[in-house]
């Protein structure tokens, strides 16, 4: 059956929908990687909560519960419960399919990302160092910026793990420059080969073989440049690759619509 050729507008709509699906697929893939590590790490606080509750119950039966023991075990339960609640909240922020563009406290958002990434990082014996500037606010979609940061951090983890480096470190910095803020994510994996540097943001390009989809950095660049009016680039620093995200600083008069401004 003969069909009319698609118009330019229809083609653009189809391509946009395709890119939206790629972005969603990438977020689902990232979440899958994180959940496996989160599940393993949740065992420790849950066991600690169980042991504290069980210890209190046994000592109560034996009439051995004193005020010091009670306070100590209760503090342990509260501390570990707070940790679990915060993790659930951070994962929920990442999962929500929101297109609401709000004003974000960048340092708060980075800490949210690290609360998710930390499970993946710690299991690989990698040190994360943060050098965050004074509070910076940007206007963007929270879960999409989280997606970009997690993509870059997880890629750094994979490279550090593959290269078996003795010094495994990821440094995350925020730097205010005039009307912009720069987020720099640098690893100690030795850098990117020159012949790969120009292809690193290409769609479907991956160095992970069958394990990689090649959409992560491509999608990340699209989000930063097309959705947020910023830029995403990479260069080889002294110890390894350094990804640089540049975003416009948000200037506001009042505190309305600020996500995480009080955290």
Q: Kind and range of the H or E element at 259?
A: strand 258-259
Q: Are strands 137-141 and 101-105 parallel, antiparallel or unpaired?
A: antiparallel
Q: With pLDDT > 90 as the criterion, what percentage of the chain qualifies?
A: 20
pLDDT band for position 93 (cuts 50, 70, 90): low
Q: With pLDDT > 70 as the criterion, what percentage of the chain qualifies?
A: 69
Nearest alpha-carbon partner for 203 in 214, 212, 194: 214
Residues 104, 189: Cα–Cα separation, whole Å: 31
More confident residue, 66 or 249: 249
Q: Residue 150's domain is classified under what CATH number?
A: 3.30.565.10
Mean predicted confidence (pLDDT) in 4-10: 58
What is the layout of strands, in order, in the sheet containing 258-259? 137-141, 101-105, 258-259
Nearest alpha-carbon partner for 209 in 247, 177, 147, 162: 162
Note whether residue 194 is domain-resident.
yes
Note whether residue 208 is domain-resident.
yes
More confident residue, 158 or 34: 158
Note whether residue 21 is domain-resident.
no
The mean of the pLDDT values for the chain is: 77
Residues 218, 7: Cα–Cα separation, whole Å: 26
Distance in Å from the first CA to the final CA of the chain: 60
Q: pLDDT digits over 111-142, tens only?
A: 888 887 876 677 678 889 999 988 789 998 88
Residue 175: exposure state from Cβ atoms within 10 A (0-12, 13-18, ≥19):
middle
Note whether residue 26 is domain-resident.
no
Note whether residue 25 is domain-resident.
no
Can you give the C-alpha Rg of the chain in angstroms? 22
Note whether residue 118 is domain-resident.
yes
Helix (H, G, I), strand (E, B) or coil at 127: strand
> 154 pLDDT exceeds 70?
yes
The predicted pLDDT at position 185 comes to 96
The predicted pLDDT at position 233 comes to 94
Residue 4: exposure state from Cβ atoms within 10 A (0-12, 13-18, ≥19):
exposed
Nearest alpha-carbon partner for 171 in 152, 187, 191, 148: 187
Residue ranges making up the domain that contains 123: 99-253
The predicted pLDDT at position 213 comes to 42
The predicted pLDDT at position 210 comes to 43
> 247 pLDDT exceeds 90?
yes
Note whether residue 51 is domain-resident.
no
Note whether residue 127 is domain-resident.
yes
More confident residue, 72 or 173: 173
The predicted pLDDT at position 246 comes to 95
Q: Domain tally for the chain? A: 1
> 208 pLDDT exceeds 60?
no
The predicted pLDDT at position 119 comes to 67
Residues 131, 169: Cα–Cα separation, whole Å: 13
pTM (2 d.p.): 0.68
Residue 196 structure tokens: 């790969």
> Which phi and psi (to 5°) does residue 241 adopt?
-75, 145
Mean predicted confidence (pLDDT) in 165-173: 86
The predicted pLDDT at position 182 comes to 94
More confident residue, 138 or 195: 138
């Amino acid at each position: 059956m003969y069909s009319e050729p698609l118009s330019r507008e229809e083609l653009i709509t189809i391509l946009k929908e395709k890119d939206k699906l790629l972005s969603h697929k990438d977020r689902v893939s990232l979440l899958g990687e994180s959940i496996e590590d989160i599940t393993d790490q949740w065992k420790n606080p849950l066991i600690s909560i169980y042991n504290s509750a069980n210890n209190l119950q046994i000592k109560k039966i034996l009439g051995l519960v004193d005020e010091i023991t009670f306070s100590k075990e209760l503090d342990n339960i509260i501390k570990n419960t707070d940790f679990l609640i915060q993790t659930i909240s951070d994962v929920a922020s990442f999962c929500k399919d929101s297109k609401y563009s709000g004003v974000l406290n960048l340092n708060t958002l980075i800490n949210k990302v690290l609360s998710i990434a930390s499970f993946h990082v710690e299991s690989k014996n990698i040190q994360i160092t943060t050098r965050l500037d004074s509070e910076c606010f940007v206007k963007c979609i929270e879960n999409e910026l989280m997606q970009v940061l997690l993509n870059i951090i997880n890629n750094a983890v994979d490279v550090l793990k593959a290269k078996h480096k003795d010094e495994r470190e990821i440094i995350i910095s925020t730097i205010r420059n005039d009307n912009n803020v720069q987020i720099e994510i640098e690893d100690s994996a030795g850098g990117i080969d020159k012949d790969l540097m120009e292809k690193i943001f290409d769609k479907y390009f991956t160095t992970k073989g069958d394990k990689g989809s090649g959409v992560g950095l491509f999608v990340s660049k699209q989000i930063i440049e097309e959705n947020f009016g910023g830029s995403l680039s990479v260069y080889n620093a002294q110890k390894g690759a350094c990804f640089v995200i540049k975003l416009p600083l948000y200037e506001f008069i009042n505190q309305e619509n600020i996500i995480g401004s009080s955290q």
